[in-house]
Amino acid sequence: MGGGDLPSSANTRERIAELVTWPEVRSESPESVARRLSDVPVDALVDVVVDAGEPGWRRRACAQALLGRVTVDRAMGLVDRVQGSDLGGDLRAALLDILSVSGRPGSDEVFRWLREQEASLRERWPYGFADKVLAERARLGDISAARPLAVLAAEPWRHRRVAGEESIDALVEAHGLPAVLAEYGADSPETLATRGSSVAERLLGLRLLWRRGGDITASLADDSVLVARAAYELMAGTSGDDDALLAMVEERRPGHLWALAVLHRRGHDIRAAWEALGPPRVELPGVPSDVREAILREYAPGQRGTDPRWLLEAACLEPEAADEDVLRRAVDELDAAGLRPEKPRPAAEHQGVGSGTYHVIATTAGKIRVSTLGPFFSLIGEHEDARVITAMRAAGLRHIDGDLAATRFTGLHVYYFGAREPLDVGTLLFYWQD
């Protein structure tokens, strides 16, 4: 490195330590950190970044504050550091932000390193750094990143999806739309949307076609629920050719269920059309109608993999007044049975964090979950005290246990601890998320 390799003065290092403290920096935006460190000399910031003796969170904050300020001599040293093995993924990402803008000192070296290392990044550096590298390749104009970026742009996590979309937009700006489409073997957004070789590519084509004001109705009939759902969501919030959608429904052409869902979102009363179609329902043997409806009211329209039949059934549900006395009745009956019930505690209070769809009532015979979605209860732990079950049933609550609790709610995808898939009845009625 250049002459700035000399250690920062003790006073400057102490000042940085005072300005960048834990836990405040944990929730602070990079822009805010950069503003607070704006008058700290570049060399002093770089010295912190490359000092393995400093905590990673302080090194990362100083790296973020260097964006747009790095001098030529220090940039080359940072390239060396970003290739080192002792850096955490978030610190590498911050350094890449500094270095990997085309034409900036060190960007060519960073680009070569990215291409050499990318194949092993996903295994070596999990938790999003490989995605960061892919996005940086796009910022550097590497059009060969187009295919993996389409996969990134199809991610369910919004921050990953947006990163992929913005990176593809950067490639389009740098090379033009025809050149980017050619990377997918397509000559137009419409071709990519309808004939792309993967779900990710068709999702990308759909987005590009929609942005250019094209007709995306054909995507309602895509074999992938993800593509059809994306088309539905784009069309649902706009006006369009409702007659064409009605014709799809009446003639039961491919995509007609999604077309009917779009019509509902556009303000049409779809009950008669829904009933004329069967009505189309996902069969869940053994699940009572009140349980089915309570879950559907809470979780529809579900995550993007959800079967359109659930959206339509939810749209046609009759309104139901909430039962405000469930907990009171439960406590009264448990008290009458001599079980000394304690005050019901919300799921968040019981778990100590998060939120949920149940309360917990502690008794001398054990703890009970009472759903907030309807008059349903389950027992916590192994206890099966008949007095508890009898009292709760006397209060008008249904016992959710055994096969009913374990029944998977097929086709309704719900977010749960990072996953987005169908859950069982017990988890849905007594849901908790930290």
pLDDT value at position 133? 78
The predicted pLDDT at position 184 comes to 98
Scored b (16 or more CB within 10 A) or e, 238-252 reads eeeeeeebbebbeee
Assess whether pLDDT exceeds 60 at residue 294. yes
Question: What span, in angstroms and rounded, lies between the C-alpha atoms of 374 and 396?
Answer: 10
Q: How many helices (H) and strands (E) does the chain have?
A: 24, 9
Residue 424 belongs to what H/E stretch? strand 419-424
Q: Identify the DSSP state of 287.
A: -
**What is the average pLDDT score of the chain?**
89
Instruction: Give the CA distances from residue 380 to residues 103, 290, 327, 368, in Å, rounded to whole numbers and listed in that order.
Output: 62, 22, 17, 6
Supply the angle between the helices 308-315 and 256-265 in degrees, to the nearest 10: 40
| DSSP H/E element including 378 | strand 376-380
Contact 233, 244 (CB under 8 A): no
The confidence score (pLDDT) of residue 321 equals 80
Per-residue model confidence (pLDDT) at position 393: 97
Residue 400 is predicted with a pLDDT of 96
pLDDT above 70 (res 285): yes
Name the band, by pLDDT with cuts 50, 70 and 90, for residue 140.
confident
* Confidence grade of residue 118 (pLDDT, cut at 50, 70, 90): low
Q: What is the mean pLDDT of residues 274-297?
A: 97
The answer to whether the bond into 7 is cis (omega within 30° of 0) is: no
Please give, one letter per residue, the 3-state secondary structure of 159-222: HHHHHHHHHHHHHHHHHCHHHHHHHCCCCCHHHHHHHCCCHHHHHHHHHHHHHCCCCCHHHHHC
Q: Output the 3-class SS for 106-172.
A: CHHHHHHHHHHHHHHHHHHCCCCHHHHHHHHHHHCCCHHHHHHHHHHCCCCCHHHHHHHHHHHHHHH
Q: Map residue 401 onto helix, strand or coil.
A: coil
Q: Decide if pLDDT at 117 tops 90.
A: no
Q: Is the pLDDT assigned to residue 334 strictly greater than 80?
A: yes
The pLDDT value given to residue 104: 66
pLDDT digits (tens, 9 = 90+) for 414-434: 999 999 999 999 999 999 998
Mean pLDDT of 194-215: 97
Identify the pLDDT of residue 382.
67
pLDDT band at residue 2 using 50, 70 and 90 as cut-offs: very low
pLDDT in tens, 46-85: 888 888 888 888 988 898 888 878 776 777 777 777 776 6
pLDDT of residue 7: 45
Structure confidence by residue, pLDDT tens digits, 367-379: 999 999 999 999 9
Q: Would you state the pLDDT for residue 64?
A: 85
In a 13 Å sphere around the CA of 179, the CA atoms on its Cβ side amount to: 14
Question: Average of pLDDT values for 386-391?
Answer: 95
Backbone region of residue 362 per phi and psi (left: phi > 0; alpha: psi in -120 to 50; beta: other values): beta
Both tokens of 384, joined, read 């099966």
pLDDT at residue 6 greater than cutoff 60: no
φ, ψ for residue 2, nearest 5 deg: -80, -165
